[in-house]
């Protein structure tokens, strides 16, 4: 926020010009507000607080995956394995809980498992020099397979009071206005975003990520340990997938063999809708939550309007393409 304000004040233009500049560098936010207004006007249930909280809950898993994915995309990589890492973390935790472990142990082991998948991705890409798409496609298949072996290819129920508490807890609502409390899961997601956004802005690691994504060679010539930072970023992405796995274990209560499959595509879509460039170096973590919100409120509205799911899928694809196109046009405008 401090950055955009200094840029704005240094170019003394007319107010409409400033508004335009702001809109073109915050196109995701503008798109979100416009869509939100449109959906609110065209549906009576859409704006109900409970529906909004519902959207928050539906987007929570993709939103958390999106944090790690944004970091990986910022360094010029991609991680297709997040859905499998999430599944592995959730499955291992569920197994441990079933066999009598306490919740902290189960959560810790689950997080470590997903983090190790992330580390493996980093080593494959940066150590062995395999392209990120191929390497993470491999772990996408391998991690899910390994987890299924551990789970005996069967679904496992999560029956732990701590997980249940995470799933059902809400803040107190305002009964007079008929507003329910905010789900704990949504709060966890927002807190994770705030922490990561602050870290990216104020840590040496965050600065190095942008430097590497912007120009890897120049970053290396400045003494930045490029490989180590990239491996760390893949590892972090695995860690966030682990957290997403815990959230999905808590909210669904049952780990079935295809849990989380395909979530990588929604995650990448959310990152792109948030305006982060797939070429690396440009984008912000906090914008990915806007992208996730755009994606899931659109799906939510389509469901309310009883649009068939196959059409919903097609529309989601078009939405992502439109976002990329709009961003391109805005970029061209800024350049000229």
Partner 1 sequence: MSAPRATTAPPLLEMRGITKHFPGVMALSEVDFSAAAGEIHALIGQNGAGKSTLMKILAGVYQPNAGEIIIDGKPVRFQQPRTALRSGVGVVYQDLSLVPQLSVADNIFLGREAGGGILVDQPTLHSEAARILSELGVSGVDVRRRAADLPLAQQQLVEIAKVLSHKPRILVLDEPTAPLAEEETALLMTLLRGLKSRAIAIIYISHRFKEIMNLCDRATVLRNGRLVKTVDVASTTEMELIELTIGERVEAFFRHGEHQASDDTPVLEVEQLSVGRTVRDVSFQVRRGEIVGLTGLLGAGQNELARALFGLTLETSGVIRRDGKSVQLHSPKAAIQHGIGLLTEQRKTEGLVLNLDVRANLTLPSLSFFRRWSAFIDNRRENRAASAMAEQMHVKTASTHAPVGTLSGGNQQKVILGKWLLRDPDILIFISPTQGIDVGAKAEIYAQLTNLAAAGKSILVVSEDLIEILGISDRIMVLYQGALLQTFARADANEERLLAAIQGNLQ
CB 208, min distance to partner 1, A = 8
CB of 214 to partner 1, least distance (A): 4
Closer of 153 and 203 to partner 1 (Cβ)? 203
Is 189 in a helix, a strand, or coil?
helix
Minimum distance of partner 1 from residue 13's CB (angstroms): 12
How far apart are alpha carbons 151 and 147 in whole angstroms?
6
CB-hemisphere CA count at 13 Å for 183?
22
The H or E element that residue 157 is part of is strand 156-157
Nearer to partner 1, 196 or 316 (CB): 196
Task: Write the DSSP symbol of residue 124.
Answer: I
Looking at the Cβ atoms of 103 and 282, the one nearer to partner 1 is: 282
Q: Which of residues 219-278 bind partner 1 (CB under 8 A)?
A: 219-225
Closest by Cα among 233, 242, 238, 191 to 210: 233
Is 7 an interacting residue with respect to partner 1 (CB under 8 A)? Answer: yes
Letters for 138-177 (x = contact with partner 1 by CB under 8 A, - = none) are ----------------------------------------
Rounded CA gap, 101 and 112, in Å? 15
CB-nearer residue toward partner 1: 23 or 221: 221
Chosen residue from 281, 290, 320, 323 binding partner 1 by CB under 8 A? 281
Q: How far is CA 127 from each of CA 40, 68, 174, 187, 208, rounded to the nearest angstrom? A: 49, 20, 54, 37, 19
Q: Under rule CB under 8 A, which residues in 101-130 are in contact with partner 1? A: none
- Least Å distance, CB 216 to partner 1, is 9
Structure tokens at 307: 């649009």
- Distance, CA of 310 to CA of 289 (rounded, Å): 25
Q: Which is nearer to partner 1, 127 or 145 (CB)?
A: 127
Number of residues engaging partner 1 in binding (CB under 8 A): 26
> Distance between CA 237 and CA 120 in Å, rounded?
11
Other C-beta atoms closer than 10 Å to the C-beta of 278 total 14
Residue 10 or 176 with smaller CB distance to partner 1: 10
Q: Contacts with partner 1 in 196-225 (CB under 8 A)? A: 202-205, 207-208, 210-211, 214-215, 217-225
48 secondary structure, DSSP code: S
Q: CB-wise, 57 or 220, nearer to partner 1?
A: 220
Least Cβ distance, residue 81 to partner 1 (angstroms) = 27
**Residue that has been written with the tokens 């290396």 in this structure:** 220
- First-to-final CA distance of the chain: 24
The site for partner 1 (CB under 8 A) is made up of 3, 6-7, 10-11, 202-205, 207-208, 210-211, 214-215, 217-225, 281-282
């Amino acid at each position: 926020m401090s950055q955009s304000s200094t840029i704005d004040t240094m170019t003394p233009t007319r107010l409409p010009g400033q508004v335009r500049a702001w809109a073109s560098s915050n196109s995701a936010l503008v798109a979100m507000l416009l869509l939100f207004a449109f959906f609110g006007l065209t549906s009576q249930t859409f704006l109900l607080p409970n529906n909004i909280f519902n959207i928050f809950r539906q987007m929570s898993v993709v939103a958390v995956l999106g944090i790690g994915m944004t970091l990986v995309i910022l360094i010029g990589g991609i991680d297709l394995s997040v859905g499998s890492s999430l599944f592995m973390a959730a499955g291992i935790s569920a197994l441990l809980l079933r066999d009598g472990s306490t919740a902290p142990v189960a959560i810790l082991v689950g997080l470590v498992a997903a983090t190790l998948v992330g580390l493996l991705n980093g080593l494959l890409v940066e150590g062995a020099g395999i392209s990120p798409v191929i390497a993470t496609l491999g772990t996408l298949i391998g991690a899910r397979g390994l987890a299924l072996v551990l789970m005996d290819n069967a679904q496992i129920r999560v029956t732990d009071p701590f997980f249940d508490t995470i799933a059902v807890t809400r803040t107190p609502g305002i009964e007079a206005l008929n507003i329910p409390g905010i789900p704990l899961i949504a709060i966890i997601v927002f807190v994770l975003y705030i922490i990561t956004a602050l870290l990216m802005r104020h840590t040496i690691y965050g600065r190095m990520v942008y430097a590497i994504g912007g120009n890897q060679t120049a970053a290396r010539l400045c003494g930045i340990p490029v490989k180590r930072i990239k491996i760390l970023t893949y590892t972090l992405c695995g860690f966030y997938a682990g957290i997403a796995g815990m959230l999905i274990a808590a909210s669904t209560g049952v780990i079935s063999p295809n849990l989380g499959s395909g979530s990588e595509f929604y995650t990448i879509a959310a990152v792109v809708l948030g305006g982060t460039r797939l070429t690396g170096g440009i984008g912000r973590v906090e914008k990915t939550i806007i992208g996730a919100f755009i994606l899931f409120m659109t799906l939510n509205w389509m469901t309310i309007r009883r649009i068939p799911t196959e059409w919903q899928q097609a529309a989601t694809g078009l939405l992502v393409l439109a976002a990329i196109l709009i961003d391109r046009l805005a970029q061209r405008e800024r350049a000229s």
